[in-house]
């Protein structure tokens, strides 16, 4: 645990989270485990699209969150609440839906944003890493000089599946001499064992799904 970061509580027991604890190398902090999400039901705003982008994949579509200001505001408010007392000096935002959650958070906290983009999108001198997706293979790139300016970093994405994308981004942060204080994602899919991929990096999600 980093200095200044709050402890990562173990999730509370529920039928849904029992599977989760068995599968994960290290449990995520789910702000609202199971169905108990306080005053707002985020699940209703997340569209589930079967067989997209290919057969057998259930796509958790956060466009339903983005089109709903209450749902989007809820996500950003929970992020701000979670990291209020956590010392950060930058946010690394994952291409592309991660950008949307990282930007309002970083603006509110007055933090710089470094983009972790898919291959071939950034014009400057880059560092890069290849990784496996739930469906396919890809690479992540960051501007070397921007990455060098952030040392205590929050990584942000919309969804963690295998954790491969975030692992690649975390490796780049660490190879540059920075520290990944925590990973934030709106959605987690723990049955794909992102915990095993991400190792000791603390993870916070707002909602987790336990199957496709």
Measured from the CB atom, the residue of 95 and 146 that comes closer to ligand AMP is 95
Measured from the CB atom, the residue of 57 and 148 that comes closer to ligand AMP is 57
In the complex, the smallest distance separating the C-beta of residue 89 from ligand AMP, rounded to whole angstroms, is: 24
Interface segment toward ligand AMP; rule CB under 6 A; list 52-60, 80-88, 116-124, 170-178: 52-60
Measured from the CB atom, the residue of 162 and 176 that comes closer to ligand AMP is 162
**Binds ligand AMP by CB under 6 A, chosen from 43, 59, 127, 148:** 59
Measured from the CB atom, the residue of 132 and 151 that comes closer to ligand AMP is 132
Q: If binding is defined by CB under 6 A, does position 65 make contact with ligand AMP?
A: no
CB contact at 8 A, 134 and 161:
yes
**Binds ligand AMP by CB under 6 A, chosen from 60, 99, 105, 184:** 60
Size of residue set near ligand AMP by CB under 6 A: 18
Nearest to 207 by CA among 72, 15, 75, 13: 75
Choose the catalytic residue: 78, 97, 152, 167. Answer: 97
CB contact at 8 A, 191 and 16:
no
Cα–Cα distances (Å) from 103 to 7, 8, 87, 129, in that order, read 25, 24, 17, 23
Query: Residues 68-107 vs ligand AMP: string with x where CB under 6 A?
Result: --------------------------x--x----------
Hey, which residues between 141 and 160 contact ligand AMP (CB under 6 A)? 157-160
Q: Is 97 a catalytic residue?
A: yes
Measured from the CB atom, the residue of 165 and 204 that comes closer to ligand AMP is 165
**Binds ligand AMP by CB under 6 A, chosen from 24, 122, 155, 161:** 161
Nearest to 146 by CA among 128, 125, 129, 120: 125
Q: Is 175 a catalytic residue?
A: no
Q: Which residues are catalytically annotated?
A: 97, 134
């Amino acid at each position: 645990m980093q200095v200044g970061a709050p402890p990562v509580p173990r999730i509370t027991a529920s039928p849904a989270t029992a599977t989760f604890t068995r599968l994960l190398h290290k449990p995520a902090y789910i702000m609202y485990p199971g169905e108990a999400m306080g005053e707002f039901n985020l699940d209703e705003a997340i569209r589930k699209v079967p067989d997209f982008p290919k057969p057998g994949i259930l796509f958790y579509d956060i466009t339903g969150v983005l089109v709903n200001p209450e749902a989007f505001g809820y996500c950003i408010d929970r992020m701000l609440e979670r990291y209020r007392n956590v010392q950060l000096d930058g946010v690394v935002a994952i291409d592309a839906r991660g950008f949307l959650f990282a930007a309002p958070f970083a603006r509110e906290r007055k933090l710089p944003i470094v983009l972790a983009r898919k291959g071939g999108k950034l014009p400057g001198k880059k560092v890069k890493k290849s990784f496996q997706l739930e469906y396919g293979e890809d690479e992540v790139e960051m501007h070397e000089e921007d990455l060098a300016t952030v040392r205590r970093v929050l990584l942000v994405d919309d969804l963690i599946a295998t954790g491969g994308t975030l692992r690649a981004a975390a490796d780049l942060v660490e190879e540059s001499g920075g520290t990944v204080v925590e990973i934030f994602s709106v959605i987690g899919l723990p049955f794909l064992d992102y915990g095993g991929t991400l190792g000791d990096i603390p993870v916070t999600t707002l909602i987790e799904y336990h199957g496709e």
